[in-house]
Amino acid sequence: MSELEFRQVSVRYGHGRSAHLAVDSADLVVRGGTTHGLVGESGSGKSTMARIAVGLTPVSGGSILLDGVDITDRAKEARLARRRVQMVFQDPFSALDPRMPIGASIAEGLLATGRSYSRLDREARVHALLDRVQIDPSRAGESPSAFSGGQRQRITIARALAAEPAVLIADEITSALDVSVQGVVLNLLRDLQQELDLTMLFISHNLAVVRYVSDEVSVMRAGRIVEHGETSTVLAHPTDPYTRELLRSVPVMGEPLELEDA
């Protein structure tokens, strides 16, 4: 089981007077085999944390360690380690190439393992992955447009799993979905996390969703981690005023969370 650690990480967008510190000396540890929720209001820096972990955005300072290897480094070892961190994005409609059959998209994910597969092995693996995310494997040749939003999100999860990730980063993966299918995707993710002993960073502004899947939680505000701990403790006894505010202002399943007095 792999551990992902953000150590004193900062990210600055832009230069000079227009520079903006999106992440400010953030520390966060996703323990091996657990799900760590990252919550915070829009613009607090959550997606930036996801993007730096998979190398889509460079860090301006600090390091990100996967089992002790700094994956922000340019060395070959770091690049190989970074492939073991995979991300599932918010929007399943833009995450898949519309011209590519879904089986081919999933097969692309296999490349990150660095192994070579025969055509038969590749097909067998793609079929097994589709089966695992409850999509009929006989539909591997169909394009993404033939599938619903929830099905597409399951296909993107299958693609991420094809890379045999040590760490999965899920960035608002249910927010573009109908409420009716959000539960299906969350349950699938929870099952996969347990089955594969995945280490998962689960980003969402929806506290109900975070509570459902996360062992631990960190709260982000204006680029800083303002509070972290076991999910049940943080949500029941938030110590930071911002967390209390967040809990009060975000309706959870239509109801404000009941807060015990600190």
Ligand X SMILES: Nc1ncnc2c1ncn2[C@@H]1O[C@H](COP(=O)(O)OP(=O)(O)OP(=O)(O)O)[C@@H](O)[C@H]1O
Spatial separation of the C-alpha atoms in residues 21 and 54, rounded to whole Å: 19
> 184-220 in b/e burial notation, b at 16+ Cβ within 10 A?
bbbebbeebbeebebbbbbbbbbbbbbbbbbbbbbbb
- For residue 163 the two structure tokens come to 């890379």
Residue 21 or 236 having the CB closest to ligand X: 21
Least distance from ligand X to the Cβ atom of residue 38, Å: 9
Residue 162 or 173 having the CB closest to ligand X: 173
254: left (phi over 0), alpha (psi -120 to 50) or beta: left
Spatial separation of the C-alpha atoms in residues 196 and 214, rounded to whole Å: 16
The CA-to-CA distance between both ends of the chain, in Å, stands at: 35
- Say if residues 132 and 158 touch (Cβ distance below 8 Å): yes
Residue 46 or 82 having the CB closest to ligand X: 46
Least distance from ligand X to the Cβ atom of residue 16, Å: 13
Least distance from ligand X to the Cβ atom of residue 9, Å: 12
Binding site for ligand X (CB under 6 A): 13-14, 20, 22, 40, 42-48, 205
Spatial separation of the C-alpha atoms in residues 158 and 105, rounded to whole Å: 9
CA torsion 175→181→187→192, rounded to 10°? -80
Strands (E), 41-198: 61-66, 69-70, 85-88, 167-171
Residue 41 or 142 having the CB closest to ligand X: 41
Residue 48 or 105 having the CB closest to ligand X: 48
- For residue 196 the two structure tokens come to 């594969």
Least distance from ligand X to the Cβ atom of residue 39, Å: 9
Least distance from ligand X to the Cβ atom of residue 191, Å: 26
Residue 15 or 76 having the CB closest to ligand X: 15
Q: Return the bridge partners of 180, or none.
A: none
Residue 109 or 223 having the CB closest to ligand X: 223
Least distance from ligand X to the Cβ atom of residue 52, Å: 10
Q: Which residue from 30, 16, 21 is spatially nearest to 199, judged by alpha carbons?
A: 30
Least distance from ligand X to the Cβ atom of residue 144, Å: 23
